[in-house]
Amino acid sequence: MELDKLTIETAKALEGKQFDVMLPDGGRTLLTLDAVLPYERRQRRPVRGAQPERREPFSMYFIGPPTQVLAQGMYDFQHTDMSLGHVFIVPVGQDATATEYEAVFT
């Protein structure tokens, strides 16, 4: 799937799915898409040459094993039916049961 075509509606259909995530060292880990939510943008100045928004901004929240924290960065996300390609994730939380990551799409 081309990420520029991904919308909040199409992403919501993927909730609960597990993705095989390729690690920089050649290893893999599994992350589950836990939730897809609208992304609230703060007011900011207009950007020169900015194009009108093509989609509603949203965030995808993934959960993974609590014993592993992936560094903020680009990772290749694969599912049995499809590929999201390279997605930029940021670790945003951790407890005894999981580590949570956020990917923002604007």
Convert the pLDDT of each residue in 43-78 to its tens digit: 666 667 766 556 789 999 999 999 999 999 999 999
Parallel/antiparallel/unpaired status of strands 73-78 and 28-38: unpaired
**Is 10 in a helix, a strand, or coil?**
helix
Of 52, 67, 62, nearest in space to 17 by CA: 62
pLDDT digits (tens, 9 = 90+) for 5-47: 889 999 999 999 999 999 999 999 999 999 999 988 766 666 6
Domain segments of the chain as ranges: 3-39+55-105
Residue whose tokens read 């909730």: 15
Q: Which amino acid is at 84?
A: L
Of 18, 35, 3, 26, nearest in space to 78 by CA: 18
Tell me which architecture the domain covering 3-39+55-105 has in CATH: Beta Barrel (2.40)
Of 21, 100, 18, nearest in space to 59 by CA: 100
